[in-house]
Amino acid sequence: MTAQKTAGQAGPEATARYLIRGASPLGKARTDLLVQDGRIVEIGSGLSAASATVIDADGLIALPGMVDPHTHLREPGREDAETVETGSRAAALGGYTAVHAMANSSPVADTAGVVEQVFSLGRDAGWVDVRPVGAVTVGLAGKQLAELGAMADSRARVRIFSDDGICVSDPVLMRRALEYVKAFDGVIAQHAQEPRLTEGAQMNEGKVSAVLGLAGWPAVAEESIIARDVLLAQHVDSRLHICHVSTAGSVELIRWAKARGIKVTAEVTPHHLWLTEELVRSYDPVYKVNPPLRAEEDVAALRAALADGTIDVIGTDHAPHPSEAKDCEWAQAAMGMTGLETALSVVQHTMIESGLMDWEGFARVTSAAPARIGRLAGHGRPLAVGEPANLVLVDPAARWQVDLRTMATKGRNSPFSGRVLPGAVVATFYRGHPTVLDGKLNTPSRQSGPRGTEGER
Amino acid sequence: MRHLLSTQDLSLANTIRILDTAEEMAAVGEREVKKLPALRGRTVVNLFFEDSTRTRISFEAAAKRLSADVINFSAKGSSVSKGESLKDTAQTLEAMSADAVVIRHWASGAPAQLATSGWIDAAVINAGDGTHEHPTQALLDAFTMRRHLARLNGTDSTGSNLSGLRVAIAGDVLHSRVARSNVWLLQTLGAEVTLVAPPTLLPVGVEHWPCAVSYDLDSVLESGVDAIMVLRVQAERMNASFFPSTREYSRRWGLDDARLARLDTLGMKDTIIMHPGPMNRGLEISSAAADSSRSTVLAQVRNGVSVRMAVLYLLLSGDLRDPVARLQSPSISVDNLPNTRADETGVNAR
Amino acid sequence: MIPEAAAAGASRVVMSAADIDRALTRIAHEILEANKGSKDLLLLGIPRRGFPLAQRLAAKLAATDPSIDADEVVGQLDVTMFRDDLARQPTRAPERTRLPAAGIDDKVVVLVDDVLFSGRTIRAALDALVDLGRPRAVRLAVLADRGHRELPIRADHVGKNLPTASAEKVRVRLIETDAAGSGWSGSDEVVIEAGL
């Protein structure tokens, strides 16, 4: 403990200076950035490199560190699928400096004790800020509200609550949850899936499911819940966040709600911005995900909605599974795809290289907006002097082939395996410390203070 | 053709080839010695994850008539139900040097996974997967219809298609692998298909299928049909509110005595009644209809063996590792070829 | 496709249409002589070219002996499923086996094929016959015998013996089975082509 404390407080890290030379913030004019003591201390051309480690960022784009509003880290309970350590390594490699860990662990993150445990695991790992999401209902059972206030007041300072994986389908319970979290400026992140309409559902219901003989997951099952919930949010004047929006109809409902001033935000996954149900024809369970891959027109609508701000954020819904959960019949396979290490590249491919969005927009949907939704201080800030040094350097010209064997996540269920993707994370700075350098994991940050003591009351 | 997974990816040429070969196989069934040595030394595994005695014994008879060794692997009540995966089962069969795996599975797509996963090198024949496809059933149905058509026209069925044949498929299309396989195959063979079902038992997306759709059996009969294929309806669908009661179902969509009589008054004396079995007499089909002279139910069972012999023969007799060569037809007298592998492509290739 | 002109230099016609017809006429007489008449005769052609040859022989028998109904004494025997090389060759769809209504029991079956080479086809034909019934005797008539036997089989009636190198190919073209074109004159012929 003493040694670690020394390293954390007085070691070389604490006083380390990094001069990032010639980066393009948000893809704009080139400049130098000087990072010291966890902050950006100087911006300008020709900065002095005295006593600083120089990072040549010629041709690289500097972006605020990415914030994932929707990650499954599996710990506690399913450490065979992922741990906070492996998941947050993957996050750092993907350009993230903060992730929100979903509540469907075992035990469920429905008490202050569990969310503090996840929070501590994240802090110990030191790769990114791990912000737990609290369950809305006890055990995700949809019967009784979890102790939302206790989780909000805990060291983990939970602000996003979700039963993700399961829809809060009871309208009364949903109304109460929306109302209750106003007490601490929380938000309910709804997994919009009408349960009766999706019993046994295997894939998008439509022309492909008809041919493949797989039970359909109709768009209306998502849209009917979104319609209900935006009206509930309006009625009780609460914040509502819609997880992983996947249909063109959902986009229209959210656009309508926003036009009426309803406090709704929405999220889309990288895979729903690219992949379609046509891939299911292979019956390869790597393409099994919830909500399911949809049709071409849905993908187009989601891209347009992200570009015009109807959809606010990218959420990976990173869902690692052990190989046996995917090496089986489609109907028996687990739902979910990994995403932390491919999100940036997939968004670059689908949004930036398609001309729909620039890097400023990228920073909005991957950093500023998710940090704001999660009320996460120190993230999603502009690249400016005095701001926390959570930032990522990206080589937009790089091309790389997705290779499952070299990924940091334990999950081997990437639907992009084998594809050549554009854009690579060269360096990630988390609290002023490079967690990733030269595209490889460096060392975790130990600057966040003595572990297990900060915040104790 | 390396595997038979669905009728959707079956070309017209390959379909005709299977049906023509089945005609020759049918002739063997009428001989005193109902056995051919073609698959001697080959091993066919019947891998059944779902009970289906009819389909299994049909494949078993087909394989045995071709002199193959047959292993029946009922994965129900075996180690599979204790949690052994499809992958481990497949690798076990691979280790036992199976040349073909006939697979019946409750999960749609399981045969396709088996064929493409790399777990096993054998030819895979789909004997019915979930609510996806049942290609040999559709082939035997087409074989039955083709023979019927040939008999009416006084022609030889060999080489012919089903051009212009009007086929109505009535019943639970949503959950039917038989309906799916038939729609694609009948389309390939040039037949005109109309699906007749309650709207609740048609899949969303059926509007993209190459067939007509109707909710009214009587009007379809009146417009004229050459074959009515009645699908099995499971009574438990009633509990899931697909229809209000079995009585209402059979009144609106069942081939009952009144509709059977209507075929006569409409002058459709040559219209046949088909059913893939097993039948729910009194629900989707009346006993009178099932037992009438129009019924081809038993012929379908008989033809099933011939069609499955043809499929097994065509998939297993050639060199499976050479899909291009497999599609060639013999073009010269075979004894002209020196009996060495190097000459396989010699004259045939020209 | 190998252009016919290029192959022409290396191929030679060894039987013309007239040669083939004369050979069949002689074989028809030999068959009647060996059988001491037409009683119980049944000619079974092996697809594809053996069948038209059997039909031509039957017509010649009928011309000699008016009591013979040419359609009643000819049939086709497919041997595909009995071959010993199924697993080593591209898949062959079986051809039809056609027998007269009376069957083959107690008949004198004359197997008819175009070229006798390794003998394996005839071996398969003998197996196929066993499954169809019990003939009183089985004989073999071929248009050409090119040698290189791999089994103890010989023909009873031979149109022409053709000494060949094993690499050469013997090609029989008949108007019933072979499409015109590719430089073929369109009349029956037997050609020896050089091996590759």
With touching defined as 3 or more inter-chain CB pairs under 8 Å, the answer for chains A and C is no
The reply to whether B230 and B328 lie within a common domain is no
Q: Which of A158, A221, A214, A210 is nearest to A189 (CA)?
A: A158
A453: confidence class by pLDDT, cuts 50, 70, 90:
very low
Residue B232, marked binder? yes
Q: Which of B23, B47, B68, B24 is nearest to B312 (CA)?
A: B68
Chain C contact for B29, CB < 8 A?
A: no
Q: Which of C40, C105, C111 is nearest to C75 (CA)?
A: C111
Yes or no, beta carbons of B108 and A214 under 8 Å apart: yes
- For the four alpha carbons of C142, C145, C150 and C153, in that order, the dihedral sign comes to positive
Is residue B25 included in any domain, yes or no?
yes
Q: What are the residues of chain B with a beta carbon less than 8 Å away from any beta carbon of chain A? A: 8, 85-87, 105-110, 112-113, 116, 129-133, 177, 180, 203-206, 208-209
What is the count of residue pairs from A and B with beta carbons less than 8 Å apart?
A: 71
Q: What CA–CA distance (Å, rounded) separates B196 from B212?
A: 9
The pairing of beta strand A53-56 with beta strand A129-132: unpaired
Is pLDDT above 70 for A3?
A: no
The reply to whether B263 and B217 lie within a common domain is yes
Yes or no, beta carbons of A329 and B205 under 8 Å apart: no
Q: DSSP per residue over B168-237, as a string? A: EEES--TT-HHHHHHHHHHHHTT-EEEEE--GGGS-TTGGGSSSEEES-HHHHHHT--SEEEEPP--THH
Q: What is the mean pLDDT of chain A?
A: 94
First-residue to last-residue Cα distance in chain C = 14
The reply to whether B146 and B275 lie within a common domain is yes
Chains that touch B (3 or more CB pairs under 8 A): A, C
Q: Which of B82, B5, B315, B124 is nearest to A283 (CA)?
A: B5
Is residue B179 included in any domain, yes or no?
yes
Question: Taking residues A417-430, what's their average pLDDT?
Answer: 98
Q: Could you count the other beta carbons within 10 Å of the beta carbon of residue B157?
A: 18
The reply to whether B128 and B52 lie within a common domain is yes
The reply to whether B144 and B280 lie within a common domain is yes
Alpha helices in A325-383 (DSSP H): 343-347, 359-363, 369-373
A11: confidence class by pLDDT, cuts 50, 70, 90:
very low
Is residue B350 included in any domain, yes or no?
no
Q: How far is CA B145 from CA B9, B151, B189, B303, C160, in A?
A: 21, 10, 11, 11, 48
The H or E element spanning position B127 is: strand B123-129
Is residue B65 included in any domain, yes or no?
yes
pTM: predicted TM-score of the whole model, two decimal places: 0.88
Alpha helices in A215-328 (DSSP H): 219-236, 248-259, 296-308
> Tokens 């094993």 belong to which residue?
C166
Q: What CA–CA distance (Å, rounded) separates A348 from A342?
A: 10
Query: How many angstroms from the chain centroid is the CA of residue A436?
Result: 18
Instruction: Specify the pLDDT at position B34.
Output: 87
Q: Looking at A170-174, B152-156, B296-300, which range is the least confident one?
A: B152-156
Residue A317: active-site member: yes
Helix%, strand%, coil% for chain C, nearest 5: 30, 25, 45
Q: How many domains does chain B have?
A: 2
Q: What CA–CA distance (Å, rounded) separates A118 from A102?
A: 10
* Nearest CA-CA distance, residue B301 and chain A, Å: 25
Q: Looking at A364-368, B333-337, C69-73, which range is the least confident one?
A: B333-337
Q: Angle B204-B208-B211 (CA atoms, 0-180°, nearest 5)?
A: 105
Q: What CA–CA distance (Å, rounded) separates A451 from C135?
A: 97
Q: How far is CA B74 from CA A292, B252, C15, C36, C192, in A?
A: 33, 38, 60, 61, 56
Is pLDDT above 70 for B82?
A: no
Please check whether residue B52 is in contact with residue B129, taking contact to mean a CB–CB distance below 8 angstroms: no
- Assigned token pair, C82: 């009995």
- Assigned token pair, A244: 């992983």
Q: What is the DSSP letter of A15?
A: G
Q: Which residues of A touch B130 (CB under 8 A)?
A: 213-214, 331
* Residue of A317, A327, A395, A403 marked catalytic: A317
Q: Angle B280-B286-B289 (CA atoms, 0-180°, nearest 5)?
A: 120
The H or E element spanning position A240 is: strand A240-242
The B residues from 57 to 76 touching C (CB cutoff 8 Å) are 66
Please check whether residue B167 is in contact with residue B186, taking contact to mean a CB–CB distance below 8 angstroms: yes
Instruction: Specify the pLDDT at position B31.
Output: 83
Q: What CA–CA distance (Å, rounded) separates C155 from C121?
A: 12
pLDDT digits (tens, 9 = 90+) for B161-190: 999 999 999 999 999 999 999 999 999 999
Q: For testing the chain A interface, which of B89, B113, B178, B237 should be mutated: the one with the most A CBs within 10 Å?
A: B113
Question: Taking residues A149-167, what's their average pLDDT?
Answer: 97
Among the partner residues C82, C121, C166, nearest to B335 by beta-carbon distance: C121
The reply to whether B161 and B227 lie within a common domain is yes
The reply to whether B189 and B77 lie within a common domain is no
Is pLDDT above 60 for A197?
A: yes
| pLDDT by residue, tens only, chain C of 196 residues | 444 444 445 789 999 999 999 999 999 999 999 999 989 999 999 999 999 999 999 999 999 888 889 889 999 999 999 998 887 777 788 899 999 888 899 999 999 999 999 999 999 999 999 999 999 999 999 999 999 999 999 999 999 999 999 899 999 999 999 876 666 778 999 999 987 6
Chain C contact for B156, CB < 8 A?
A: no
pLDDT digits (tens, 9 = 90+) for A229-252: 999 999 999 999 999 999 999 999
Q: What is the mean pLDDT of chain B?
A: 88
The count of C-alpha atoms lying within 13 angstroms of the C-alpha of A90, restricted to the half-sphere facing its C-beta, is 31
The reply to whether B21 and B129 lie within a common domain is yes
Among the partner residues B105, B112, B204, nearest to A216 by beta-carbon distance: B204
Please check whether residue A408 is in contact with residue A91, taking contact to mean a CB–CB distance below 8 angstroms: no
What is the count of residue pairs from B and C with beta carbons less than 8 Å apart?
A: 112
Of the options 3.20.20.140, 3.40.50.300, 3.20.20.70, 3.40.640.10, the CATH number for the domain spanning A64-373: 3.20.20.140
The reply to whether B46 and B121 lie within a common domain is yes
Domain ranges for chain A, please list them. Answer: 3-62+385-441, 64-373
Q: What CA–CA distance (Å, rounded) separates B178 from B185?
A: 11
Q: For testing the chain B interface, which of C1, C49, C51, C81 should be mutated: the one with the most B CBs within 10 Å?
A: C81
Sequence-distant (≥ 6) Cβ neighbours of residue A142 within 8 angstroms: A163, A166, A168, A169, A170, A173
Query: How many angstroms from the chain centroid is the CA of residue A24?
Result: 24
Instruction: Specify the pLDDT at position B261.
Output: 97
Is residue B21 included in any domain, yes or no?
yes
Q: Which of A132, A38, A157 is nearest to A76 (CA)?
A: A132
Is residue B2 included in any domain, yes or no?
no
Q: Do domains A3-62+385-441 and A64-373 have the same CATH topology?
A: no
CATH number of residue B107's parent domain: 3.40.50.1370
Q: What CA–CA distance (Å, rounded) separates A146 from A134?
A: 8
Q: What CA–CA distance (Å, rounded) separates A93 from A434?
A: 11
Please check whether residue B216 is in contact with residue B202, taking contact to mean a CB–CB distance below 8 angstroms: no
Q: Which of B85, B74, B179, B186 is nearest to B132 (CA)?
A: B179
The counts of H helices and E strands in chain A are 12, 19
CB-neighbour burial class of residue A215 (10 A; exposed 0-12, middle 13-18, buried 19+)? buried
Q: What CA–CA distance (Å, rounded) separates B175 from B234?
A: 10
Is residue B263 included in any domain, yes or no?
yes
- Assigned token pair, C166: 């094993």
The reply to whether B23 and B155 lie within a common domain is no
* Nearest CA-CA distance, residue B28 and chain C, Å: 9
Q: Looking at A407-416, B119-128, C5-14, C161-170, which range is the least confident one?
A: C5-14
Q: Could you count the other beta carbons within 10 Å of the beta carbon of residue C192?
A: 21
Instruction: Specify the pLDDT at position A6.
Output: 32
The CATH superfamily of A3-62+385-441 is: Urease, subunit C, domain 1 (2.30.40.10)
Please check whether residue A445 is in contact with residue A431, taking contact to mean a CB–CB distance below 8 angstroms: yes
Is pLDDT above 70 for B328?
A: no
Q: For testing the chain B interface, which of A198, A214, A283 should be mutated: the one with the most B CBs within 10 Å?
A: A283
- For the four alpha carbons of A400, A401, A406 and A410, in that order, the dihedral sign comes to positive
The domain in which residue B111 lies consists of 7-133+300-345
First-residue to last-residue Cα distance in chain A = 20
The reply to whether B176 and B258 lie within a common domain is yes
Yes or no, beta carbons of B335 and C97 under 8 Å apart: no
Question: Taking residues A181-190, what's their average pLDDT?
Answer: 98
Q: What is the DSSP letter of A452?
A: T
Is pLDDT above 50 for A430?
A: yes
- For the four alpha carbons of B225, B231, B235 and B239, in that order, the dihedral sign comes to negative
* Nearest CA-CA distance, residue C120 and chain B, Å: 7
Residues annotated within a binding site of A for substrate? 72-74, 104, 290, 321
